[in-house]
Amino acid sequence: MDKTYINVIKEVDFKEPVFIEALPGIGHVGKLVAEHIIHELEAEKFAELYSPSFPPQVFVNEDGTIEPMKNEFYALKAEDGQDYIILVGNTQGLSPEGQHEVCGMILDFVESFGVKQMYTLGGLGTGQPIEKSKVFGAATSKELAEMLKENNVTLRSADGGIIGASGLLLGMGMLRGMNGACLMGETPGYFIDAEASKAVLKVLLDILGMKVNVARLEERAEETRKMISKAQQMEREMAERMHIAPGEEDLRYIG
């Protein structure tokens, strides 16, 4: 593979879909939210993105089969008539250049379906235990920022940015005339945080007017914990072979 490409599995007709991004990040907060929505509302995968910017490895599943590093696009037709494109995956680009290339292609792709609004999901790491997770947010306009406040979202202060795809997609999308917001669940950041995911999920559902059962989210979190444990072991082994520190120049768990 010498370039990033998108493999369209099924042609889908959308009507002004809302784009939701939730690639792996701190506490896997956003990814857990999006995967829960996908499973509960039976969204359908219609495209996959592959890139040489992704880590040089594969996942090994419980049955011994492998899973390549990829991003996946899901189509969702909600009961209220609103269409959604949901992006999940098992990785982000390793380098800043890779992130820009991949995010640019993602935006090209969703823009071709008429996307004008997006929500990116992630975690806001504190490094310390939290009694109850708050949801922090940032938006592309003052109007959207006010909407976040009305939905009990604490606006992100000016003392920090949003690193990784969740921030880059918003920034690059804004240059294309897209509106959007990022929702970040407050999390210690060193484990798969179902409670932070629940907090983000509830806010997102309120904003979108979507109905999803949140009861099984903890079960999905446990499945994710097992997958991440394997991925981290693979990363340590690869780092030892390449004589680099685990996580060095690795943006997969940021944002």
What HEC string does 81-109 produce? CCEEEEEEECCCCCCHHHHHHHHHHHHHH
The residues facing 175 across adjacent strands are none
Q: What domains sit in the chain, N to C, each tagged with a CATH number?
A: 5-242 (3.40.50.10900)
pLDDT values of the chain reduced to their tens digit, one per residue, 255 residues? 889 999 999 999 999 999 999 999 888 899 999 999 999 999 999 999 999 999 999 988 878 899 999 999 999 987 778 999 999 999 999 999 999 999 999 999 999 999 999 999 999 988 888 888 899 999 999 999 999 999 999 998 766 789 899 999 999 999 999 999 999 999 988 778 888 999 999 999 999 999 888 877 767 666 655 655 555 565 566 667 666 555 444 433 345
Rounded-to-integer distance, Cα 4 and Cα 19, Å: 20
Q: Which residue has the tokens 């509302």?
A: 41
Residue 25 sits at φ, ψ, to 5 deg, of -155, -160
Contact 121, 86 (CB under 8 A): no
Q: What is the pTM of this model?
A: 0.85
Contact 145, 209 (CB under 8 A): no
